[in-house]
Homo-oligomer: A and B are copies of this chain.
Amino acid sequence: MRTATLFLLVSFLAAALTIPASAQPTSAVTDRPHHLMPVPSSVQRAEGRLAITREGTVAITGAAAADRRLRAAAERAIVRLERRTGIEFVTRGPVAEPAGAWLVVDVAAPGGALPALGDDESYSLTVTPTQARLSAPLVVGALRGLETVLQWVDGTGGAWGLDAVRIDDRPRFPWRGLMLDVARHWMPLDVVKRQLDGMAAVKLNVLHLHLTEDQGFRIETTRFPKLHQLGSDGLYFTQAQIREIVAYAADRGIRVVPEFDMPGHVTAWLVGHPELGSAPGPYTIERNWGIFDPAFDPTREALYPFLDRFFGEMVTLFPDAYLHIGGDENNGKHWNANPAITAFMKQRGFADAHALQAYFNQRVQKILQKHGKKMVGWDEVLHPDLPKDIVIHSWRGQKSLFEAARQGYSGILSNGWYIDLMQPTAQHYLVDPLPADSGLSEAEAARVLGGEATMWAEFVDPHTVDSRIWPRTAAIAERLWSPREVRDVGDMHRRLEAVSVQLEEHGLSHEAHTARMARRIAGARDTGALETLLGTVGPVKVYRRGQEFNKAYGRRPTQMTPLTRLVDAAIADPAATRAFTARVERLLGDPPAYDRDRDALRRTFDEWREAARALDRQADTRPLLHEARSLVADLGALADIGREALSRLGSGGGAGAAAWREASLARLKEAATPRVELEFGVIEPLQKLVEAAAR
Contacts and interface: CB of A to CB of B under 8 A. Distances in A.
A155 B524 CA distance: 13
A159 B560 CA distance: 21
Contacts of A622: 155, 158
Contact of A619 (B85, B158, B497, B625): B158
Interface in A517-561: 519-520, 522-525, 558, 560-561
A594 to B, nearest CB: 24
B504 A520 contact: yes
A516 interface: yes
Contacts of A516: 504, 511-512
A497 B524 contact: yes
A97 B170 CA distance: 66
Contacts of A512: 509, 512, 515-516
Nearest to A563: B83
A156 B575 CA distance: 33
Contacts of A190: 190
Contacts of A515: 512, 515
Interface in A76-93: 82-88, 92
Interface string A467-505: 000000000000000000000000000000110111011
B86 A562 contact: yes
**A-side interface size class:** 35 or more
Given A561-B88, A562-B83, A158 B620 contact: yes
B564 A86 contact: yes
A154 B524 CA distance: 13
Contact of A519 (B85, B501, B525, B629): B501
Contacts of A522: 501
A498 B156 CA distance: 41
A621 interface: yes
A172 interface: no
B564 A157 contact: no
A519 B511 contact: yes
Contacts of A625: 158
Contacts of A69: none
Given A88-B558, A501-B523, A155 B623 contact: yes
A156 B562 CA distance: 21
Contacts of A562: 82-83, 85-88
Given A512-B516, A525-B497, A624 B88 contact: no
Contacts of A157: 620-621
A560 B92 contact: yes
A160 interface: yes
Contacts of A621: 154-158
Contacts of A511: 516, 519, 525
Contacts of A525: 497, 500-501, 511, 575
A515 B619 CA distance: 26
Contacts of A558: 88
B624 A86 contact: yes
A516 B523 CA distance: 20
A676 B82 CA distance: 17
A208 interface: no
A118 to B, nearest CB: 35
Interface in A618-648: 619-626, 629
B155 A88 contact: no
A561 B86 CA distance: 8
A20 B251 CA distance: 54
Contact of A501 (B84, B500, B520, B626): B520
A622 B501 CA distance: 14
Nearest to A88: B561
Given A498-B524, A505-B520, A520-B501, A159 B561 contact: no
A153 B522 CA distance: 14
Interface string A182-202: 000000001000000000000
A565 interface: yes
A572 to B, nearest CB: 16
B524 A623 contact: no
Nearest to A558: B88
Q: Please give me the 7 A-B residue pairs with the lowest Cβ-Cβ distance, nearest first.
A: A158-B626, A512-B512, A155-B623, A82-B562, A86-B565, A83-B564, A501-B519
Given A83-B562, A504-B519, 8 more contacts: A85-B624, A86-B562, A158-B619, A158-B622, A158-B629, A160-B623, A498-B524, A512-B515
26 contacts: A82-B562, A83-B562, A84-B564, A86-B562, A86-B624, A87-B562, A88-B558, A88-B560, A88-B561, A88-B562, A155-B622, A155-B623, A155-B624, A155-B626, A157-B620, A158-B626, A159-B626, A498-B523, A501-B520, A501-B522, A504-B520, A505-B520, A511-B519, A512-B512, A515-B515, A525-B575
